[in-house]
């Protein structure tokens, strides 16, 4: 029988142990409702994906010439790493999620091994897939296709952005949504980084804010067109997301 392979923070846990009893909710959602006087039930206001737990049992097997106590300490060191890290399970077909190991269950001792139940908290419950990119030419447009089944937020980087006739540098999508930066007076060109996932805009090395009418660009799966106002080629990078 083949074993399910599991990686955490790019380290294969199943090189140390067997993984079994994998459990998780398929697609947990938080539903917002409101009570309405005189109405049965409640009014539906909306829904969003919820954080979820991925649990499994990791069993350190008895192997000749192997120090099981040392392997257990090595496993504990990997699982106790601070913050969220990449969690990949072989049965997910190469897709992965960001997770933190939040709890260890009771340790069971068996005739041929030690079993440890562990739980990973997945705060962003969608899967991530391939990285991709496109280039918006200086003062021009680019058409590209985003894969996956769930919207993703890109990072847009221009090493030498220059204001256009309107006094700003702007990237606009096919729906009219845009991100915009203003190159400071006295500077001909400047680096611009639009970090949509983290909502951070950097111009010439400093953090600034988007104009009130602008917004972070969201890329739905499918075809998109991005157009530049101003000059300075820009690289658009994103990671496919899946549910």
pLDDT for residue 159: 96
The percentage of residues in the chain with a pLDDT greater than 90, rounded to a whole number, is: 58
- How much is the average pLDDT of 168-179? 95
pLDDT > 70 in the chain, percent:
91
pLDDT digits (tens, 9 = 90+) for 195-236: 999 999 999 999 999 999 999 999 999 999 999 999 999 999
Confidence of residue 155 (pLDDT cuts 50, 70, 90): very high
Mean pLDDT computed over every residue of the chain? 88
- More reliable by pLDDT, 5 or 69: 5
Q: Is pLDDT of 105 > 80?
A: no
Q: How confident is the model at residue 65 (pLDDT cuts 50, 70, 90)?
A: low
SS (H, E, C) the chain: CCCCCEEECCEEHHHCCEEEEEEECCCCEEEEEECCCCCCCCEEEEEEECCEEEEEEEEEECCCCCCHHHHHHHHHHHHCCCCCEEEEEHHHCCCEEEEEEEEEEEEEEECCEEEEEEEEEECCCCEEEEEEEEEECCCCEEEEEECECECECCEEEEEEEECCCCCCEEEECCCCCEEEECCCCCCCCEEEEEECCCCEEEECCEEECCCCCCCCCCECCEEEEEEEECECCEEEEEEEEEC
Model confidence at 1, in pLDDT bands (50, 70, 90)? Answer: very low
pLDDT of residue 2: 57
Which domains, from first to last, does the chain contain?
6-125 (2.40.30.200), 128-242 (2.60.120.860)
Q: Is residue 174 very low, low, confident or very high in pLDDT (cuts 50, 70, 90)?
A: very high
Question: Does residue 57 register a pLDDT over 50?
Answer: yes
Q: Write down the pTM of the prediction.
A: 0.81
């Amino acid at each position: 029988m083949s074993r399910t392979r599991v990686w955490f923070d790019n380290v294969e846990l199943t090189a140390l142990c067997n993984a079994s009893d994998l459990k998780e909710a398929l697609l947990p959602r938080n539903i917002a409702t409101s009570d309405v006087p005189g109405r049965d039930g409640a009014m539906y206001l909306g829904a969003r994906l919820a954080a979820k737990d991925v649990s499994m049992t990791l069993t350190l097997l008895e192997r000749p010439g192997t120090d099981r106590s040392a392997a257990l300490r090595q496993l504990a060191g990997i699982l106790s790493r601070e913050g969220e890290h990449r969690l990949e399970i072989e049965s997910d077909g190469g897709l992965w999620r960001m997770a933190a190991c939040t709890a260890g269950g009771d340790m069971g001792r068996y005739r041929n091994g030690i079993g440890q139940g562990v739980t990973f908290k997945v705060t962003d419950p969608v899967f991530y897939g391939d990285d991709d990119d496109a280039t918006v030419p200086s003062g021009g447009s680019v058409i590209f296709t985003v894969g996956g089944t769930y919207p993703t937020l890109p990072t847009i980087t221009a090493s030498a952005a220059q204001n256009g006739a309107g006094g700003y540098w702007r990237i606009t999508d096919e729906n009219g949504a845009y991100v915009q930066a203003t190159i400071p007076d006295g500077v001909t060109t400047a680096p611009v980084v639009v970090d949509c996932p983290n909502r951070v805009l950097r111009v010439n090395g400093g953090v600034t804010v988007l104009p009130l009418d602008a917004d972070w660009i969201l890329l739905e799966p499918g075809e998109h067109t991005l157009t530049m106002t101003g000059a300075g080629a820009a690289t658009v990078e994103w990671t496919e997301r899946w549910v």
